[in-house]
Structure 1
């Protein structure tokens, strides 16, 4: 669940980002920059990450601060779920990634599943939208909404991508080590519940 220090750091970062985007007074801009620096120091102190790495992340964020969107494809075959092994951490995740400007969530998920698994899919329906802070993910500098979209395979074959090193289907009782930055065991099991009960309403935090 969300750590209090992380929540405070994100709120300070959002306030400073909004202030830097809309303030005109040079003294206010200086104060908002000081707030941004403070949020960086909090992250560095507790997350064991170099200040320059955090500063680079935050410096790329301009304009009004809003949550990021992570879109994940939910693909079942023979009562097993499609997962890809991530090159970054060697653990398994639902295929997906950040939402792209100019693409709808369905278009993003179709693209991501193809690039990461080799399967052509059609996006069928939204299963859930979660706020990452309510779930057991590791600390992240960003506030993230995660979209889970059910997809059907219409072509292609299992094939690793630039960011993935293996593609496989798993049943609910034999899940591999999951990439908890991307998805948790609780979330994957929730998705299996949709497989058993397709009439369930969309889950939303």
Structure 2
């Protein structure tokens, strides 16, 4: 997958480039230091994902819809310092697909790029907590993008729901899916936010009602 790093801070760009170099499937195709340079590079550079700090000097939130207009297949991961929920909401309405913070750990940053490239929305746990504390419904927030279609759970999320309903721990799910436990924890928070539940029981109920797992299999799993 081809990635553009968009940030005016030299140290941040070096750090992100170093982190992404840990995955051989990720190629950093260019780095840009302003909105103008970002838009110009998009005209001649193929990219799947942009890691963008739209709050950095030289950038504004207006660059998000402009970038998506230049490259309609581009997926944007916002990576910023801590922001209040209204700023995050504005970014998502503008077209940001996923959102993480700059102090997220390395596995979470890598996961955000890979999941987003695969078409899945990804929020770090800290961003979700910020949204929840401001009483913003994540499902409603995600459905703001020019469509009346309901927000659907991604294939990865449905897969994780099934494992949760069968009684697996985060560590066990991480081992099966070859992901970090921290990434599974983040997915679990995303799932609970979308389903509007605060506990595992709500996830299990959804899995049973959606025929992701049978009641008998779940009960057997819990008794064994």
Q: Normalising by structure 2, what TM-score? A: 0.26
Bigger fraction of residues in helix? 2
Task: Write 1 or 2 for the structure with the bigger share of strand.
Answer: 1
Q: Which has the higher contact order (CA 8 A, sep 6+)?
A: 1
